[in-house]
Structure 1
């Protein structure tokens, strides 16, 4: 695994990449490069589009408020997309922003909002979720963006999972046994992690989840965690035992 180049700024640009291509930038991106970072003509920056790897590009200002980038060469190949699905009950505003950012940093490849009986938010701003995913990817050297699905009721979200995918259900009612030991009892498989809303799942929902074949309930320890904290804790232990941390 190559070390990310944190000495250079990174920018997501949703365009096709090829050597020598000119990439027009949106006005806010131009402002960020020229007036926030104060980059000058021919300064280097790293760019990615979620498909074609990471490229070195040169800044080409067009006046004080507009710029484009000229692609130089590819410096990293695009890695395979993450197969880790993250299912979660949406939260409000800043806490949802945080959850999305951390899920991307922890390697989630699909973000699936799930509507439960105690979910606080029933309609989501998917553009805002995507913006938070891009920001996390830009800051953390990530080249792939997660798929962001529209919100679905819990039953439909469960039915939409492939039967071969192991669903790791972070159950606040589970006995406080070691989550590491529970995960180690399972072999390699495509993974999904499910985190509930504030206040937890209702009993009928817990029975519905537990009845799904290929589901493993785990405890996240003796403390009550907020939903956004539980996301980080769950994804960390899953990645360490069964995910890409273990495979490396």
Structure 2
């Protein structure tokens, strides 16, 4: 009876919070303490109070309905009620991309998370303009995007590495589709494991030759127009997603 009441009261507009998995699995009646940032968000941004309903989730425990049990300034807690969705990993691809200016990189993380990227791997190319990334801030952006788009996991964001090093270690049985400007794409009969997007100035000729020689790399055409790098990310992910759906 209580579970039915909770389900009826739950709304898709209720705040949704990612709570990382801990040593203790979620169970009905459990009280979870909220990090200061989430408590502030609920009280000051969303104007929620004690008794309001929220949804909490992570990749191990799934998604749960919960009720705010306490909320004061930057501290708060929620009472778990019922599991609404079982754990489910996002089905997508790993995204390799050359770091861009701050706003553009943040946009790539946000859009990529919403489009199902499972892991972000920044790669430094010959024409990469920036080599510094605020990984902590990018992780927050990925978390917020996961909360908004209703996926149950938050993609990992790796520290930057040289493209040459990444390719040298890349297994030949993991298909990597590379967006190469002004070059015809290949119609591969394999499902992509990852997508590679280059910097604003494109890959150098040396890098193009290196990619063409790698046994796991397939060229991916994004059309006749030259796209901004962040636009290419969306186009490439949509292209690979459509191809995967068409092969089912």
TM-fit CA distance, 1:68 = 0.8
Aligned to 2:14: 8
Q: Residues 217 and 65 (structure 1 numbering): CA distance in 2 closer, same or farther, change over 3 Å?
A: closer
Q: Residues 65 and 171 (structure 1 numbering): CA distance in 2 closer, same or farther, change over 3 Å?
A: closer
Per the alignment, in what secondary structure is the counterpart of residue 112 of structure 2? helix
Select which of 35, 40, 53 maps to 2:49.
40
Select which of 216, 219, 237 maps to 2:218.
216
State whether structure 2 residue 157 is matched by structure 1 residue 151. no
Per the alignment, in what secondary structure is the counterpart of residue 72 of structure 2? coil
CA RMSD of aligned residues (A): 1.8
State whether structure 2 residue 182 is matched by structure 1 residue 186. no
Aligned to 2:68: 59
Q: Contact (CA 8 Å) 1:130, 1:148: kept in 2 or not?
A: yes
TM-fit CA distance, 1:105 = 0.9
TM-score by length of 2: 0.88
Deviating more after overlay: 226-235 vs 145-154: 145-154
State whether structure 2 residue 82 is matched by structure 1 residue 73. yes
TM-fit CA distance, 1:19 = 2.1
Query: Aligned partners of 2:39 and 2:222: how far apart in 1?
Result: 44
TM-fit CA distance, 1:18 = 2.5
State whether structure 2 residue 228 is matched by structure 1 residue 226. yes
- Structure 1: stretches of 5+ with no match in the other structure: none
- Structure 2: stretches of 5+ with no match in the other structure: 1-10
- Number of residue pairs the alignment of both structures matches: 235
Q: Residues 230 and 190 (structure 1 numbering): CA distance in 2 closer, same or farther, change over 3 Å?
A: closer
TM-fit CA distance, 1:160 = 3.0
Q: Contact (CA 8 Å) 1:168, 1:216: kept in 2 or not?
A: yes
Q: Residues 141 and 152 (structure 1 numbering): CA distance in 2 closer, same or farther, change over 3 Å?
A: same
Query: Aligned partners of 1:246 and 1:40: how far apart in 2?
Result: 46
Q: Contact (CA 8 Å) 1:15, 1:23: kept in 2 or not?
A: no
Q: Residues 190 and 237 (structure 1 numbering): CA distance in 2 closer, same or farther, change over 3 Å?
A: closer
Q: Contact (CA 8 Å) 2:95, 2:119: kept in 1 or not?
A: yes
TM-score by length of 1: 0.88
